[in-house]
Amino acid sequence: MTRTNIALLVLIACVAALPLFGDAYAMRLGTMACMYAIFALSWNIVGGFAGYPSFATAAFFGLGAYTTGILMNKGVPLSVSLLGALVLCLVLAAALGAVLLRLRGHYFAIASLSLVEVFRELVNNATDLTGGGMGLNIPLVSGSSVLSDATFFFYAMWGLLLLTALVVIAVSASKLGFGLNCIRQNETASNMVGLNSTLYKAVAFGLSACFVGAAGGLYAAWVHYIDPSDVFDILYSVKPIVMALMGGLGSPLGVVCGAFVYLGLEEVVWRNYIQIHSGVLGVLIILLLLFLPHGLISLHASKIWRGLFGRKAKHV
Amino acid sequence: MLAIQVLINALVLGCLYACIAIGFSLVWGVLNVINLIHGSFIVLGAYLAWGAYNALGLSPWYSLLIAAPSFFVFGYLLQRLLLNRVITAPVLVTLTLTFGLDLILNNAMIYYFKADYRKLILNPPTGSVSIFDVVVPVDRLIATASALALTFLLYLLLRRSKVGRAIVAVRLDRDAAVLMGVNVKSIYAVAFGLGAALAGCAGVLMALIFPISPLTSSAYLGKAFVVCVLGGLGSVSGALAGGLLLALVEGVGSVYLGPAHAVTLSFVLLIIFLVVRPQGLLGRKGFE
Amino acid sequence: MFHPRLVLTALSASFLLAAAGLGATSSVASAQDVIRFGAPLPITGPLAPEAVKQQQGYDLWAEQANKAGGINVGGKKYKVEIVYSDYQSNTPRSVQTTEQMITQDKVNFMFGPFGSGAAKAASTIAEKYKVPMLAATASSSQVYDQNYKYLFGTFTPNDTLTTPLTKLVKAKATDVKKVAILARNDLFPLAIAQEMEKSAKENGLEVVYFEKYAINTLDHSATLSQIKSLAPQWVFITGYTNDLLLIRKQMVDQQMKAGVVTMIAGPAYQEFIDSAGATAENISSASWWHPAEKYDGKDIFGSTANFVKLFKDKYKLEPDYAHASAAVCGALFQMAIEKAGSLDRDKVRDELAKMDVVTFWGPVKFGANGQINSLEPPVFQIQAGKPVVLFPDAIKQGDFKLGVN
């Protein structure tokens, strides 16, 4: 296990200490932070490792949320519902991936974006099953106090984050990870040396969707009421990309840090710039892309030093 | 007869869709940049027309004349100063950059104009014409005719003028164009400016028919996407073909599957085309 | 030097803690004699125009209450302070901001966010923290079906609008046999459309068309052509103001004519009448309140006429039901607090549950699920550019007119 991956696990372990310091609202933020980190890590599998810019995160988030919601409404306990959501997203994404990942670049991006629209409208129209535009109620999981509720969901999301991180680390160290790397660098050549790129890509897409789906399920149980425009929101697809770009494409530690930093920024901006918060987000994105294209992880202390004081670096 | 009415509706709507998409298609085809600001450009053009009509009494025709050069300059500068820096970066970066720019523009519009829906109400109202049993609103006819005129103008520009031919050359083969002495950097900016100008003019035309609000920008963008994929990139005929196909699918889908399903159908069609025929109906690497 | 990874990890962890800490430390300095009401509103985003109305209602009430010295809590007068926040028309954010207001801003009581969807989502937080929440704009009974004790709403269920409407049309427009229903695929518009379908069938009308259109649909021409070809005598459309304006325009474009055209929920707003112009003529609708009501209330506003006058003086506009509902929520909280004689949330909640009083809004009594069940919603029709009340008879201003061009 590389040092970055160890650092990642340490970071995640530190986050677990949040309930000791914060109240219910802080835990709400912490749960969101873990959720964002799950998005970023999952997206990284297909976007960072394999190099396919996927916009499908929101599609599987929503799918997981609705699957869990519908199952729970039928009396299935939370853990089994989450498992159901996870498996469904894994299988469906792998199947879709085999087809859609034949497209490259822009075309793949658009196809994955359209998945979000298609899933949303399908859910919108299956009114009898999902409530359609009227939304879906999800029964309360734990009827007890606010604090214990908040703590429960925080640890549940945190646990999912840990699982995601472990799987991502395992993938990056395995043949799958190596294969995805090859695909990113030169898919044609990889095919020529006998790599079954369709299989690898399908698995990658499946993995990128399953934890997002489970996170969606947890989210649904957490908020008790979901409707299609909330969970199939395109921003859930764009934010992981910004987080990954912020932290450093391809690096699991980088994307998780990107997720945490992004959440912090989002909170600060939302509170202080109510009217223009999305504009501020836009400015942030532009500055990021123009001046820090490789993400925060590329920040060397010497670069910061140079940026601040303009001295020449001792080495190139 | 319902079928004929739906068909005529689709034809008219299709040309409007083509008008919305043509600027987007040009930018995508030539610069290989998916311009997510396109929808907001259209809305801005609509506000221009609305403002000019209500505040100065200028008819939308004049707004067209104002919109074209001002949006061109705006787009040209935007590309030259900002987008050009990332033009060689991967897809992801350009997409996210234009997304960020769109957030800024959209937010600015909401801030200044508020999210309320406005309508450009022509005084006197234009009404509708009825031929046999088929009814067509006059304002849509006017907008359609203008849209067709605009696309025809673009076609002439791309075919006849030196700049136009340079744009097509860059689209066909960038490196060869460089060898032929074309200043690619400047052409990129010109193409983007042209795309912006077309979006602005499309916005002026849309103002006649649809409500104006920053919230509609994603709807326009979505249509532009689908039209480009269905019809093929970078060409006028592609945009027209895509627009007509989309409008037809939506219209027929509305009647047989219900309006809610019509939207799903258009996106499913999009995915099918992407997988089966990504170059669209008329896309080919060539002259329009 | 510092390893970049270390820098990065430290940076991100600190950001997270800072954000959490920001929360904890941002408690606002609270003056002793102030009661704080949380009002999450969609100040930005598609629902922004609705937020303006609610804010105007709340502000008018707060102003009146403070003018009278404040709310009387067991002998001591407390000033009213309303804490606003923007949830960007995004339901998950409305939930987040509700929690933030309760835990960070330490509000005493909550107003619900706009609409049925967000109110339903946010009510869970209010219930968890046991904070009484009054929802000013949530009508669908689905909002109140979670057995919550702390949620109350001032809109009666959707069928209280559709039933009198159907009865009126059946009585006055005897030729009406077929009705076509087009609904926006959203909580309130779809729910009320379903009620309409039920109501129509119960009254012997044939529902020849029932479809939903997606949110953000720009072009309805194919749908409207289809409805036109079915030749219904009654066309019933639901959506929000902009949808209804768009559909109305496209109906005129298609030269659609019908005996009765009903639209919910835009025609009550002046903006609808202004934008639709002559095409609004004879459009019927129903809402929960109308300025022509003649109630003599025990609340701070007193009579309906007085409320209308105060509203007009402050804002130079005629109030519509959205403004009035927001104001009455404030007034109801005031009455409950004064009756309870304390700021204890459970006591105030109990007073709200027991409430049985006439206000400028109408008689207020909440059902067991928290939704008001005592109103008689007016049915009205736009005639000569003004909404004219047709029902109930007590405040009837005119007669039903057939024929919409």
**Positive or negative: CA dihedral B134, B140, B142, B147:** negative
The SS3 assignment for B78 reads helix
Query: How far does the CA of residue C217 sit from the closest CA of chain B (Å)?
Result: 8
- Which residue in A14, A142, A224, A251 has the most chain C C-beta atoms within 10 A of its own C-beta, making it the best mutation to test that interface? A224
Contact residues on chain A for B104, CB-CB shorter than 8 A? 279, 282-283, 286
Question: Residue A303's pLDDT is what?
Answer: 55
Question: Residue A312's pLDDT is what?
Answer: 45
Instruction: Say if the Cβ atoms of A110 and B229 lie within 8 Å.
Output: yes
Please report whether residue A316 resides in a domain: no
Q: pLDDT tens-digit profile of C234-246?
A: 999 999 888 898 8
Weakest mean pLDDT among B20-24, B193-197, C184-188, C324-328:
C184-188
Please report whether residue A21 resides in a domain: yes
User: Which domain range does residue A82 map to?
Assistant: 3-233
Going residue by residue through chain A, which has 316 residues, state the pLDDT in tens, using 9 for 90 and above.
Answer: 678 888 888 888 888 888 777 777 888 888 999 999 999 999 999 988 988 889 999 999 999 999 999 999 888 898 999 999 999 999 999 999 988 888 887 788 888 988 998 999 899 888 888 887 778 878 776 556 777 788 888 999 999 999 999 999 999 889 999 999 999 888 888 889 888 888 999 999 999 999 999 999 999 998 888 888 889 988 899 889 888 888 888 888 889 988 998 888 888 877 776 667 778 888 888 888 888 777 776 665 445 555 555 444 444 3
When pLDDT is cut at 50, 70 and 90, the band that residue C285 belongs to is very high
Q: pLDDT tens-digit profile of C290-343?
A: 888 888 889 999 899 999 999 999 999 889 899 999 999 999 999 999 999 999
When pLDDT is cut at 50, 70 and 90, the band that residue C5 belongs to is low
Question: Residue A306's pLDDT is what?
Answer: 56
Instruction: Say if the Cβ atoms of A263 and C128 lie within 8 Å.
Output: no
- Tell how far CA C400 is from the center of its chain: 26
The SS3 assignment for C129 reads helix
Question: Residue C8's pLDDT is what?
Answer: 61
Please report whether residue A249 resides in a domain: no
Please report whether residue A218 resides in a domain: yes
Question: Residue C25's pLDDT is what?
Answer: 41
Question: Residue B117's pLDDT is what?
Answer: 77
Please report whether residue A166 resides in a domain: yes
| pLDDT over threshold 80, residue B286 | no
Q: pLDDT tens-digit profile of B186-232?
A: 899 999 999 999 999 999 999 988 888 888 888 899 889 889 989 88
Average pLDDT, chain C: 87
Q: What percent of chain B has pLDDT over 70?
A: 98
Four-point Cα dihedral A10, A12, A16, A17, nearest 10: 50
CB A213 within 8 A of CB A64: yes
Tell me how far apart the alpha carbons of residues C161 and C114 are, in angstroms, rounded to a whole number.
19
Query: Which of B123 and C11 is assigned the larger pLDDT?
Result: B123
Question: Residue A19's pLDDT is what?
Answer: 79
Planar angle of CA A70, A75, A79, nearest 5 degrees: 80
Residue spans of beta strands (DSSP E) within C157-199 = 178-184
When pLDDT is cut at 50, 70 and 90, the band that residue C14 belongs to is low
- Which residue in A118, A122, A128 has the most chain B C-beta atoms within 10 A of its own C-beta, making it the best mutation to test that interface? A118
| pLDDT over threshold 60, residue C28 | no
Query: How far does the CA of residue A84 sit from the closest CA of chain C (Å)?
Result: 24
Tell me how far apart the alpha carbons of residues B75 and B176 are, in angstroms, rounded to a whole number.
25
Give the total number of structural domains in chain A.
Answer: 1
Q: pLDDT tens-digit profile of C331-376?
A: 999 999 999 999 999 999 999 999 999 999 999 999 999 999 888 8
Side by side, the strands of the sheet bearing C260-264 are: C206-213, C178-184, C234-238, C260-264, C283-286, C379-383, C386-391
Query: How far does the CA of residue C175 sit from the closest CA of chain A (Å)?
Result: 33
| pLDDT over threshold 50, residue B235 | yes
Tell me how far apart the alpha carbons of residues A248 and C11 are, in angstroms, rounded to a whole number.
14
Say if B104 is an interface residue toward chain A (CB within 8 Å).
yes
Q: pLDDT tens-digit profile of A107-121?
A: 888 889 889 989 998
The SS3 assignment for A143 reads coil
Tell me how far apart the alpha carbons of residues B157 and B190 are, in angstroms, rounded to a whole number.
12
ipTM score assigned to the predicted complex = 0.83
Q: pLDDT tens-digit profile of B147-181?
A: 899 889 888 988 889 888 888 888 888 888 889 88
Contact residues on chain C for B115, CB-CB shorter than 8 A? 44-46, 48-49
Query: Which of C312 and B2 is assigned the larger pLDDT?
Result: C312
Could you give all domains of chain C from N- to C-terminal order, each with its CATH number? Answer: 21-156+292-365 (3.40.50.2300), 159-287+378-395 (3.40.50.2300)
User: What does the block give as tokens for A125?
Assistant: 């129209």
Please report whether residue A267 resides in a domain: no
